[in-house]
Amino acid sequence: MVQYLTTKSIRKEGVLMAKTGKSKVLSLMLVVAMVFGILPAGAIGAFAAPPNGADFTIAQVTGVSATALSQPNVAAGIGDQPAGDIRVIEATVAALGTDDVWLRIQPDRGVTFSRTPEATVTAGDITLGEPELVENNLLRIPVTAESTAAAQITISGIRYNVALSAALGDVDVNVLAGESDVTARVIGAVSNAIVVRPVSATALARPNVVAGFNNQPAGDIRVIEATVAALGTDDVWLRIQPDRGVTFSRTPEATVTAGDITLGEPELVENNLLRIPVTAESTAAAQITISGIRYNVATDTALGDVNVDVLATEDTPTAISTEGLISTISNAIVVRPVSATALARPNVVLGFNNQLAGDIRVIEATATALGANDVWLRIQPDNGIQGVTFSRVPEATVTAGNITIGTPVLAANNLLRIPVTAESTAAAQITVSGIRYNVATDTPLGGVLVDVLAGESTATARLIRTVSNATVVTLAALFPDVPETHFAADAISFLRARGIIQGFPDGTFRPNANVTRAEFAKMAVLSAGLTLIDTETPSFGDAPATHWAFRFIETARAAGIIRGYPDGTFRPNANITRAEIAAIVVRAAGFTEDITGTRFPDVPETHWAFREIMTARNRGIIQGFPDGTFRPNDPATRAEAAVMIFRWVTGTQAQAQ
């Protein structure tokens, strides 16, 4: 870094320079430096005019640093508030020389020194004079003799006046070293205080409240004084913002939970306006907690945050004012009585059948919200073209609360009915899983929209929500080392489009390379659409939490897709065999065991994977080699692995082993 050379620093190098004419001398030095290749020509542009009228860019001091030891809050509109100490640290002896130390509060923030701090040598040795306030935002600490042991200077007792208009956030202080602040170099910029409002408000929780229900608990609201008597005797007001259909259902309670301030009994002035009288100001910074807030929520209430204006004023607030408004907060979220969400949105590829989509979850906000109404999933057609249809009947499971449901029924190729035979007594969740789609070649690209409804029939059912649990995409471009004639070209392109496989940094796929057990565990989990479990406890000694595939391995193990070896290992970096892939695919797909038909001569009944290999063959997942063998113990290639997964997720039999 190019540094501004003071007379003092040049003298240390054995060169004398008069203080007058520094610009010309330094310019000459820069030209010489460029001629001899010391500086690039572009470096001249770095010497822009610095602040405070200095001749050159104020460069940074090397070997000296600055830090703020704490960062307490200071409140806007209050004077003489303590800030954190600032420490100036020499990394080496005499790094400061006899340059004075300067603290300059950055201007235009409304923060100034309220008195002169103290400066103490807290390590090493360096001789200091008395600190001096040169301006209300500029402090000078004279250095009268340089250190002979690396020194630390601690500037303490810093106190600030903070204007009411001061911007909230960090108070930035430039720490400099030099003969004057104009020629000084920057040691560092630190923040030793944070400007906050004199009084703030926060919501301690944000629970859901349901549209169409009354007397629902919201989160407590806390009003906090940053300093003593900041509220004065202004009353505190809570005003629910209008036009939202949310009102107080009863009068909350107000309690002093820190400091001291005297309150009267809360009063509902209107159905959306609460007054908390303050009868005596605090003598210790206070906190008021307003609890037991309950809301009535109209059926037509807009979903989302319930916004509450917290104000402090003597009179009934009729409009938000800069003086009266403390802050606007949200202490509740309005939700539907019944909602629906898609847990994932995997890609489905044009022109392929039986592709896994994301699960859909139907959620009651309160008990009996669904009643005994059936749940319906209806895939929206596009311009009359039903390009996406169910390829099979999904499963429906109660995953929270209690509600009684029957077996799902496909009422049409794009319409699923989930019978509800008894309403819940505890708010329930129904998860619809194993949803698979057939996707026509002329299907529009983009999200698959599914209407989730509740009712006795689709004609009378009400819409809960429209969700998207799949995205229609085209086949991905082929890798340069996978020509169109390759036996696995379609499989590799399909799985790439679905995000199940990817290539190497050089853009290749390397179809003939082997696959590790960890890599295939990841492929299987993604293909099955499983949600990664959150655990830090490894099931296998050689697959710790630090392994890149740890969560995929643990998810596959929890789903029963992988089992590991008898010695308790998983061997994640070992090449996976063809038999192991067949077994994992059969488990992941949930295929019913089928050992009928012609057997492979190299897979006897005693082989550990005999039943899985035969099932995989009978389901079209594997076909074997032209000589009739399967070669179960051979390591599988990346192309072979792609084909087996492709056949599983699409039900397609490709031309491959």
Tell me, what's the pLDDT at 322? 56
d(CA 43, CA 497): 49
User: Among 57-66, 269-278, 641-650, which is the least confidently predicted range?
Assistant: 57-66
Per-residue burial over 362-400, b = 16 or more CB atoms within 10 Å of its CB, e = otherwise: bbbbbeebbeebbbbbbbeebeeeebbbbbeebebeeee
Please give the mean pLDDT across all residues of the chain. Answer: 86
d(CA 582, CA 579): 5
Tell me, what's the pLDDT at 34? 36
For residue 446, which phi and psi values (nearest 5 degrees)?
125, -165
H or E element at residue 552: helix 550-558
d(CA 643, CA 648): 9
Residue 249 has pLDDT above 60, yes or no: yes
Contact present, 436 and 355 (Cβ < 8 Å):
yes
Residue 529 has pLDDT above 70, yes or no: yes
Higher pLDDT residue, 152 or 478? 152
For residue 588, which phi and psi values (nearest 5 degrees)?
-65, -35
Q: What is the mean pLDDT of residues 64-91?
A: 91
Residue 458 has pLDDT above 90, yes or no: no
Residue-level length of the chain? 657
Residue 107 has pLDDT above 50, yes or no: yes
pLDDT tens digits along 562-589: 988 999 999 999 999 999 999 999 999 8
Tell me, what's the pLDDT at 45? 33
Residue 539 identity (one-letter amino acid): S
pLDDT tens digits along 333-372: 998 899 999 998 989 999 898 898 999 999 998 888 898 9
For residue 164, give both structure tokens. 């009411």
Residue 16 has pLDDT above 70, yes or no: no
455: left (phi over 0), alpha (psi -120 to 50) or beta: left
Find all residues with CB under 8 Å of 270, minimum gap 6, and list them: none
Radius of gyration (C-alpha) of the chain in whole angstroms = 36
Is residue 197 very low, low, confident or very high in pLDDT (cuts 50, 70, 90)?
A: confident
For residue 214, which phi and psi values (nearest 5 degrees)?
-110, 160
For residue 489, which phi and psi values (nearest 5 degrees)?
-60, -50
The H-assigned helical ranges of 94-228 are none
pLDDT tens digits along 398-421: 999 999 999 999 999 999 999 999
How many Å separate Cα 116 from the centre of its chain?
44
pLDDT tens digits along 265-314: 999 999 999 999 999 999 999 999 999 999 999 988 888 899 999 998 88
What SS3 string covers 571-593? CCCCECEHHHHHHHHHHHHCCCC
Residue 202 has pLDDT above 50, yes or no: yes
Q: What is the mean pLDDT of residues 145-161?
A: 95
d(CA 574, CA 577): 9
C-alpha torsion sign, points 414, 418, 419, 424: negative
Helix, strand or coil, per DSSP, at residue 400? strand
